[in-house]
A and B are shown apart, each in its own frame.
Chain A
C-alpha cells in the first residue's frame, strides 16, 4: 500500500520560467553592449501559509527573483501567477490593486524608510495610497500595527533615525503587514541586524505567519536562518535553480555538488565539530557572461565533458515531485566531502 500523501496547502504563487535580463549600456549613444542574465528561467510554487526559502551567494539572482515577482522589475519573459492572474502581463491598474496582498521587507531598515516621515506617516501611507478608511479608523489601525510588531504607541510621532536597527525593521514589518497581505517577500530581513536582535525579528515573523496565515518568500545568504524559517528551499547559482527540496532534506542529503559545498562552507558554532570541508576553488563567474553548459562547471569537482557542453535541466530527483535537481550526475549519489 502506498503511504498516504500528506495534505498540502493550495498554491498561492506560481512562478513559471521567469527570466530577467538587464541590458548593459555604454558609450555615448548608450548602445546595448551586453546582457546580465540575472534570472534565467526559474520556476517554483509558494503554498499558502508556508515559507519558501531562497539561498545563494551574491550575484545568484535571489534578490532579482524577489523583485521581479513583485514586478518591481518588468520581467523579460515568463509568468508570475498570483491569485489566478499573471502579474507579468496584467495592466498597471489591476497590478496596483493586487499588490496590496503582496508586500516586501527589505534588508536595510535604514534605507527603506523615508527619513523625513514620522512613523505615523510611514504607516499611514499604504492606507492613503489605496484610499482606505477615514482618519479615525487609520489612527486606530496604526496603533494596532505598532502593538502587533512590539512597539509603543508613542513611537508613532518619532522619526526613523530615532530607532535602533531592530526597531526600524519592526517598522518595516508593520508597513508590510498594514494592508493584510497574503504574501511577503522578505529580502535578507535580518542580515543587517546584530545576533541578539535577529532572533527577536525572526520570532516576530513566525508569530505573524501563524496568526495571519501569511506566505513568505524568504531570501537570504544565511542557510541556517533560511532552513529555520522555511518548509522548502531553493538553491540558486548564477540565475538558475540548482536544487529545490524540503528544508530538512536539503541539509541532511544535499544532492547538487554546489549545495553540498555551500552547506559544508557554513561555519558551525560548535568547535568540537571540525568537519572536512568541500572547498570550492575559484570565484563566481560573472552573470554577464555565464559559462556554457552547466553554470557551475568551472568550480565543480565532479565536472565531466558533458557538463561543459550541455546544460543540465532541473528534474525531479528519484521520482520525488518535491525534489528537483539540475545536475548531470545527480543519480550517482556522490558526496564531494
Chain B
C-alpha cells in the first residue's frame, strides 16, 4: 500500500470539470492534499477558487450532468471513493462522511418537523432502530449540539427557529451517524459573529469528544486562524500554498497569500492608512493564462511566470507553495 492509500483521507491529482456553453471548464485542476484523523484542515480562497467544488467532489455530490470528475483519486480509509458503485458509496456518505452547508435554511426541508429530519437520517442508516429509540437518540443529539429545550425544537419547523439553531440542527443531522469526517462548507458565513463564535466552539468541542476529522472551507482568514491545524490556500482552481496554520500566518510564502493577509483591515490597523491591495481580479476559467494563474495580479512576477506553470515547492515538512520564486529556496519552519 502506498502512503496515500493508507492515510485517513487523501486526495491525489483531483480534476473536476463542468460542461458550460464555453465548453468543458476545469473548476479544480490537479489538486492533492491529505486530512488526518482528529485534525482540521482549512481550505481558504475567494469565490470561484474551487474550494466548494473540491468538497462536493469528495462526497460525490457534484451537480449532474454538468459536473464530473475527470481524473485523480480520493482515498478514504483505504478505499478509492471514485471507483465505488452507488450502493457502496451510500454506506460511506452520511455514515462515515457528513457534510454541512452554508445556508441551513435551504438545506433543511421546510415542510418537515425538525425531529423527523434528524430521525430520517438514523432511520436510513440504522434500519433496525425502533421509532422510540430514534426519538430518544434525536433528543440526545440535540442536547449535545447545545439546543436548549430540544423537546420543543423537535416539533418545530425550520422557519420557526433562528439561523444559529438551524445550523445546530444541521450539525446534529451530520453527526447522527458519528462520522469520521465532517466536511463543513462555510458553516458560519450566514451567521452573526456572536452566534458564529458559539458554533465554532461547538465544532471544536465535538471534535475533541469524537475524534472526527474536519475539512473546513471558508473565505474568512480569521475563522481559519481559529479552527484549522493545517491550511490550504486555493486560487483559480489550484492549490497555491499549504502550511500549518501558524506558519501560514507568520511566514506566508506565496505572493497571493501574502497579499490576502496584508489586505484585510484588522482591529489594530491604523485608521484610514491605505490598505495593501491585490490589483485586478481573478481570471475567468475560460480564459486562464498559460503559466502561473496569479501572474496578472502578482507584484513580483518574472518572465517565466508568463509561460511555465510553477510547480509545488516543499519549503519544510509541512509547508509548500507553488511559485517560481521559491524554486530551490527553503524557509526554516
Q: Could you tell me which A residues sit within 8 Å of B by CB distance?
A: 57-58, 164, 166, 194-200, 202-203, 206, 209, 221, 223-225, 227-231, 247, 251, 261-272, 277, 279-284
> CA–CA, A215 to B192, complex, Å?
27
A203 with B277: CB separation less than 8 A: yes
**70-99 of chain B: CB within 8 A of chain A:** none
Chain A residues, CB < 8 A from B222: 266-269
Chain B residues, CB < 8 A from A202: 265, 275
> CA–CA, A223 to B269, complex, Å?
12
Contact partner of A268 among B219, B266, B277, CB < 8 A? Answer: B266
> Could you count the A-B residue pairs with CB atoms below 8 Å apart for me: how many are there?
133
Contact partner of B266 among A164, A262, A269, A284, CB < 8 A? Answer: A269
Chain A residues, CB < 8 A from B47: 194
Residue interface mask B261-288, A partner, CB < 8 A = 1:
1011111110110111111010000000
Chain A residues, CB < 8 A from B164: 283
A271 with B245: CB separation less than 8 A: yes
> CA–CA, A51 to B165, complex, Å?
35
Q: How far is the CB of A62 from chain B (nearest CB, A)?
A: 12
Residue B103 lies at the interface, judged by CB distance under 8 Å to chain A = no
> CA–CA, A277 to B195, complex, Å?
12
Q: How far is the CB of B261 from chain A (nearest CB, A)?
A: 7
A229 with B198: CB separation less than 8 A: no
B192 with A284: CB separation less than 8 A: yes
A199 with B264: CB separation less than 8 A: yes
Residue interface mask B233-257, A partner, CB < 8 A = 1:
0000000000001100110000000
B267 with A229: CB separation less than 8 A: no
Q: What are 8 sample pairs from A and B whose C-beta atoms fall under 8 A apart?
A: A194-B46, A224-B264, A224-B265, A231-B271, A247-B271, A262-B194, A267-B220, A271-B249
Output the residue of B201, B223, B266, B269 with the most chain A CB within 10 A: B266
Residue B177 lies at the interface, judged by CB distance under 8 Å to chain A = no
> CA–CA, A218 to B13, complex, Å?
45
Q: How far is the CB of B278 from chain A (nearest CB, A)?
A: 4
**185-237 of chain B: CB within 8 A of chain A:** 192-198, 200-201, 219-226, 228
Chain B residues, CB < 8 A from A262: 193-194
Chain A residues, CB < 8 A from B266: 224, 228, 268-269
Output the residue of A203, A271, A277 with the most chain B CB within 10 A: A271
Chain B residues, CB < 8 A from A203: 274-275, 277
B267 with A194: CB separation less than 8 A: no
Chain A, Cβ-Cβ closest to B275: A199
Residue B311 lies at the interface, judged by CB distance under 8 Å to chain A = no
Q: How far is the CB of A243 from chain B (nearest CB, A)?
A: 15
Residue B63 lies at the interface, judged by CB distance under 8 Å to chain A = no
Chain A, Cβ-Cβ closest to B225: A271
Residue B38 lies at the interface, judged by CB distance under 8 Å to chain A = no
Chain A residues, CB < 8 A from B201: 277, 279
B267 with A196: CB separation less than 8 A: no
Q: How many residues of B contact A (CB 8 A)?
A: 48
A269 with B225: CB separation less than 8 A: yes
Chain B residues, CB < 8 A from A279: 194, 197-198, 201
Residue B318 lies at the interface, judged by CB distance under 8 Å to chain A = no
Residue B148 lies at the interface, judged by CB distance under 8 Å to chain A = yes
Residue B298 lies at the interface, judged by CB distance under 8 Å to chain A = no
Chain A residues, CB < 8 A from B261: 269
B46 with A195: CB separation less than 8 A: yes
> CA–CA, A200 to B197, complex, Å?
28
Chain B residues, CB < 8 A from A200: 277, 279
B278 with A265: CB separation less than 8 A: no
> CA–CA, A313 to B74, complex, Å?
60
> CA–CA, A164 to B279, complex, Å?
13
Residue B260 lies at the interface, judged by CB distance under 8 Å to chain A = yes
B148 with A268: CB separation less than 8 A: no
> CA–CA, A86 to B199, complex, Å?
44
Contact partner of B272 among A228, A264, A270, CB < 8 A? Answer: A228
B193 with A266: CB separation less than 8 A: yes
Contact partner of A269 among B162, B249, B274, B279, CB < 8 A? Answer: B249
Chain B, Cβ-Cβ closest to A247: B271
> CA–CA, A49 to B275, complex, Å?
20
Output the residue of B269, B271, B274 with the most chain A CB within 10 A: B271
A197-B267 contact given A266-B222, A267-B222, CB 8 Å threshold: no
A272 with B246: CB separation less than 8 A: yes
A224 with B267: CB separation less than 8 A: yes
Contact partner of A277 among B197, B245, B260, CB < 8 A? Answer: B197
Chain A residues, CB < 8 A from B150: none
Q: How far is the CB of B256 from chain A (nearest CB, A)?
A: 8
Residue B135 lies at the interface, judged by CB distance under 8 Å to chain A = no
Contact partner of B264 among A231, A263, A269, A281, CB < 8 A? Answer: A269
B165 with A283: CB separation less than 8 A: yes
Chain B, Cβ-Cβ closest to A205: B272
A195-B219 contact given A229-B272, A261-B194, A266-B267, CB 8 Å threshold: yes
Residue B259 lies at the interface, judged by CB distance under 8 Å to chain A = yes
B220 with A196: CB separation less than 8 A: no
Chain A residues, CB < 8 A from B200: 267
Q: How far is the CB of A56 from chain B (nearest CB, A)?
A: 9
Chain B residues, CB < 8 A from A223: 193, 267
B165 with A268: CB separation less than 8 A: no
